[in-house]
Chain A
Amino acid sequence: MTQAGQRLTAAGKEDHVEVDGFRIRYWTSGPPRPVGAVVMLEGMTWGLSKLRDALVQKYQVIALELPGFGASPANTRSQSVPELANTVAQATAQVVPEHYTLIGTSFGANVALWQTLQAPDTVEALVLIAPTAILPVAGPMASTPEETARRLFAHPEKARGLASVDPAIVAKEQALVQRLTGGMHDAEAERRLGEIPCATLVLFGSEEKMVAPEAARIYRERIPNSNIAFVYDAGHLIEAERPEALVNAVSDYVELRETFIVGRQTGIINP
């Protein structure tokens, strides 16, 4: 098991593919007979390790390192999020030949959204965790670790107990994200949300501060088969603050998709 805050790259069988001149690493893990494939795209800073640990019990999980993220070299070639997503879609096609569920968090969710728009026939279900494509909160970059923690957490004091990420990696990733998004609303992504054909779950922390509160409803309004979920008492980094709730909701959705709204817990106390 891994702790909240560890990168996805912490476990699994490592391999790589070559796409668009990038050497893209990925890690595969799962049971001998998986019931399906799940592709996970990390965002900056904290990852989805606990969610991966849960999903590998049933699924073949492929954690894909975005070019310019993690230990990969700085990405100076991708010129837009759609272009980066196209690269990732090609890489995914080499690793997972058929259909898969796609999960992304934060900037990784923005890439996942565009990947789904570009490869709609291969993505069976889409899970966007705290995406920042729609209505990101404008403002200067956080200048201190304390300010960063206040923006990312409902309870900033929890940031201290998490696995730390190399500041150089954070700076490299931050520069790429800033160059590709400018911290701006992605109007083109919003316009095309209606083209997403698969079941889609979008999750936000109830104390999310990186995007406007109105963002969630836009996804729900525009994506035909979508659900939005609020994870109580969590900020942008949901896994860090409410890992059990995130794992519960996403695991249910990956298995059940839009039927995850059907209650399955027993109310029996003394049978």
Chain B
Amino acid sequence: MIEAALSGLWYGFGVAFEPHNLMWCFVGVLVGNMVGVLPGMGPLATISILLPLTFGMKPVGAILMLGGVMYGAQYGGAICSILLNLPCHPPHAVTCLDGFPMTKQGRGGVALGLTVFASFVGASWGITEMIFLSPLLVKAALQFGPAEVCSLMLLGLLAGSTLARGSPIKGVAMTVVGLFLGSVGTDLETGSERYTFGMTELDDGIELIALALGLFGIAEFMNSVNQVAPINTKYTNVGIKDMRPTKADMKRAFFPMWRGTIVGSLCALIPGTGPTIASFVAYATEKKISKHPERFGTGLIEGVVCPEASTHSSVQGDFIPTMSLGIPGDAVMALLLGALMIQGIVPGPQLISQHPDIFWGLVASFWIGNIMLVLLNVPLIGLWVKMLAIPYRFLYPSAMFFVCIGVYAANNDFFQVGEVAVIGLFGYILLRLGFHPAPILLGFVLGPRFEENFRRAMLISRGDIFVFVERPISAVFVALCALLIGSQIYFRLRGAKADLEPAAENIVSGEVPTALAAQRVPATPAE
């Protein structure tokens, strides 16, 4: 078992070190790091803009680059949180609590230096987890019939929508909307058209890129235009020299870093709990076991490295269900899965055996990419800090162009550009009504496969709906679904929302939909 994993990894390094793959990986982490720093551009929007550009590439290079964007953005997001007190990216919101006070004390460089280090440790652990757990999961998953796949998807969708931020019932509603949007177009089995309203352009369904860019690009711009406070660059003079931590700092950061890593990797195993929840839980745990919980929030290095290590460990761990089961945990993973599907690769347990170059190449590239990021972040910190000052009024119009041309380039069709505008308006209305649009993408990507497996399961069981509870593995998944819903109702009736961490709730209060809006809620705890 271990031998197979190690030989797979060896093969993966061979793939990832091929010059063009290495180049795409580098491009990915560089772009990801850059947009991670930019306030107002999330990894979701960036990946969807880059997606059409990967159509001409080989699948391995494409997925290596898009994956790089994703974890590269996590490195950049920390810079924004620590130096500017802006929780640009939700997973880094808690880092503000102790990171910004450190910056005010003139120790921002140290915080950044240790963050880079902690991120690398967290990511390495997540990758190791992926190497050894994925083949195990695949072994189990290969036994699954359509009924099991179906109930597993149901569990993934429910977890993704109820455990994420905001009201669980609204999350479920968004998932259902996503599933519906996935059914628009030609029906796979009968060939009849659904919900196309006579528009032949909709025969192939709604374009994934248009949906993602509408929801996470245009809707987000509408939400933040003229609302972004000018950025305070008072504390952003950080050079390489400031980043070197002292021995005492290293010592204090060591154990929190590992605790954060473990918490993150555990969170990654539960479907639906992405890096955001992992970082909150890690911070709360650290505070609980600390001898001086009252000193958190005043600039403790523990409060910075612990959530950061946790975020990165969970980001890498999130790839496990995505790659080995074909079930994404959050919207970014759904988008990456969509990218694979566009390349003609069927996600699922057979992916590792059918396309070992993609799986092992991706794993190996994670390590290479993370080393690149450490090397990039240390000397380029000055440049990233300068990029923080790019005003939003230049950023969003340029991004609008990338949205338009990106959607156009996907099919060379202007219809999709109109589609993205309509979806953007719809997405903004949803944001204003307090919905989080991320589960839409989850439902959209899983929708067609869910329907296909559901039909197949019904056909095999001769229309017996109880097949889902009669087959043992499927019954376990259904029971977990019931447990999930039951516990949500229980907590609702008790009046207690799943309590994460009061301080964190302040920053990511229910109203704040995504990244940028968080800026309007000034991080009060730090002031």
- A and B found bound together: no
Residues of chain B having any CB pair with chain A under 8 Å: none
